[in-house]
A and B are shown apart, each in its own frame.
Chain A
């Protein structure tokens, strides 16, 4: 089993705090972030900051991955944090020969909240009017009807433009793009949530997958957060507005935390990186989102019981989304074995209950609870393997 490196690039943490005022604050938050982050150091390879649309346009995306291997020095990064003029950045994530590029939006850039406020005003005017005419139809249809009118921000349009161009001009199947997630209910009216306090605006990350004919938008968390991206060019981009839970590849319980420790769930960037890694090496080509949801890659990394048939009972088994697919397969084998054991125990409990002359429900519940507790203990053991393999609580 591969031991992960224990060093990391400061630039990753620092760039997360672009826009903070002092170096002291940066250092403080760097330590804090070490606990929070969930992308591993050797997976997150480099970051290139891009100031504006013009610079992004002049950015040579056609030289392939080599361009993005340029490392930004720590000093340079700190300097850039103090000047939050950069609207975009391009990240490269790499594991062995597998790499994926992310076109990121700098959520700390100057003037963002003000600009998004104006954007929301325009949006509410459009979707509000549309919703009035849709009052008598179901919520789902209503959402589909008006979601076609969700306006993309210029930042979203820009990252999409270059991500699509990059996909077209390279042999890579996938790339990642940032967006501003929209609410999943029609009454959210397609608006972007803008925190009133010092918190930055939320950004979300999705995978773009090039089928050769069109580009699929894969949102592992909830397709409805990002389906509006297809409005950029519905003839080329395919998204789904489905509320179907089967399309939720990775989810976490309400109130749970993302982060890097073994008991934390992975964040959207992390999951999209792993999904992209898997799809890059997958020899099959998927023509639609429906096809893709049946792919082996999705089955490997998902934590959705309905997709892979393995219940993780809301435990973040991080090995299941490791960068190395050999580790994922090994993890899945263990999970399947534990699951089979639980199935046998539960079936046995049910049989005994059925055969008992005096059926005592409490006794059945007690037996099943014991079996499930055993299963959970095994899951926690597997969860802890994440830190055992790494030695220092670091594992991709």
Chain B
């Protein structure tokens, strides 16, 4: 029940209640539902909830740093990497998460960011979008131009 309550308070961005829950209870699984608490807190940019979640993970859920902790931490890192990918993060959130994520080397970009410097140069070019059939095999898929069922 505490997990469900924390889920709600994180979603409602209710820092005070979320922290109270984390203080009062010790049966919360911080990695619940593939890290949904972090999805919710990071989506709201809530630094305080993020801090409290991580603190609970380290001090209450895994006070002993054994193999189980190591495995859970690996999962936590993956959860945090996913939750911070392709979103704008405040410096404060980055600071809180930095013991788990190397923001310097992580790629937190959308696919086409590498082309961003070219965007200003782009205009729609019909020929580029719609090359002649004989040229349209750039993906190694042969296009015959006929209605054939053997090629797709």
Which A residues contact B (CB, under 8 angstroms)?
51-55, 85, 87, 109-112, 114-116, 118-119, 122, 126, 138-141, 144, 151-155, 157, 161, 164-165, 168, 213-214, 227, 230-247, 288-290, 305-307, 309, 311, 339, 342-343, 346-347, 350, 353-354, 359, 361, 364-365, 368-369, 372
Contacts and interface: CB of A to CB of B under 8 A. Distances in A.
A309 B11 contact: yes
A114 B5 CA distance: 51
B111 A230 contact: yes
B64 interface: no
A236 B151 contact: no
A306 B111 contact: no
B129 A244 contact: no
Interface of B: 1-2, 4-5, 7-9, 11-14, 17, 20-21, 24-25, 27, 34, 36, 39-40, 43-44, 78, 81-88, 107, 110-112, 115, 118-119, 122-124, 126, 128-130, 136, 139-143, 145-147, 149-152
Contact of A244 (B2, B85, B126, B150): B85
Contacts of B141: 119, 151-154, 157
A240 B111 contact: yes
B69 to A, nearest CB: 20
Contacts of B82: 140, 242-245
A245 B136 contact: no
Given A235-B128, A236-B129, 15 more contacts: A53-B147, A140-B81, A140-B82, A144-B111, A157-B141, A233-B129, A245-B39, A246-B43, A305-B7, A306-B36, A342-B8, A347-B14, A347-B17, A361-B27, A368-B4
Contacts of B147: 51-55, 85, 87
A152 B88 CA distance: 31
A185 B136 CA distance: 28
A179 to B, nearest CB: 12
Given A119-B141, A151-B139, A152-B139, A350 B130 contact: no
18 contacts: A122-B140, A140-B85, A151-B139, A154-B152, A213-B123, A230-B112, A236-B124, A243-B85, A244-B87, A245-B82, A245-B83, A306-B39, A306-B43, A311-B8, A339-B12, A342-B8, A346-B17, A347-B17
Nearest to B34: A245
A241 B107 CA distance: 11
Nearest to A144: B107
Contacts of A290: 86-88, 110
B107 A234 contact: no
Given A230-B112, A235-B122, A114 B24 contact: no
Given A235-B118, A244-B82, A346 B11 contact: no
Contact of B130 (A165, A306, A307): A165
A165 B128 CA distance: 11
Given A151-B141, A157-B143, A246 B39 contact: yes
Contacts, number: 176
Contact of A114 (B40, B136, B150): B150
A53 B110 contact: no
Nearest to B118: A235
Contacts of B43: 246, 306-307
Given A239-B111, A290-B110, A365 B1 contact: yes
A111 B85 contact: no
A346 B123 CA distance: 53
B87 A234 contact: no
B27 to A, nearest CB: 8
A342 B142 CA distance: 58
A201 to B, nearest CB: 11
B152 A116 contact: yes
A346 B129 contact: no
Nearest to A237: B112
Q: Which of B5, B83, B119: most chain A Cβ within 10 A?
A: B5
Nearest to B88: A290
A346 B13 CA distance: 14
Contacts of B44: 306
B126 A368 contact: no
A234 B8 CA distance: 39
A361 B115 contact: no
A138 B80 CA distance: 14
A247 B25 CA distance: 31
A169 to B, nearest CB: 9
Nearest to A150: B139
A238 B83 contact: no
Contacts of B130: 161, 164-165
A238 B136 contact: no
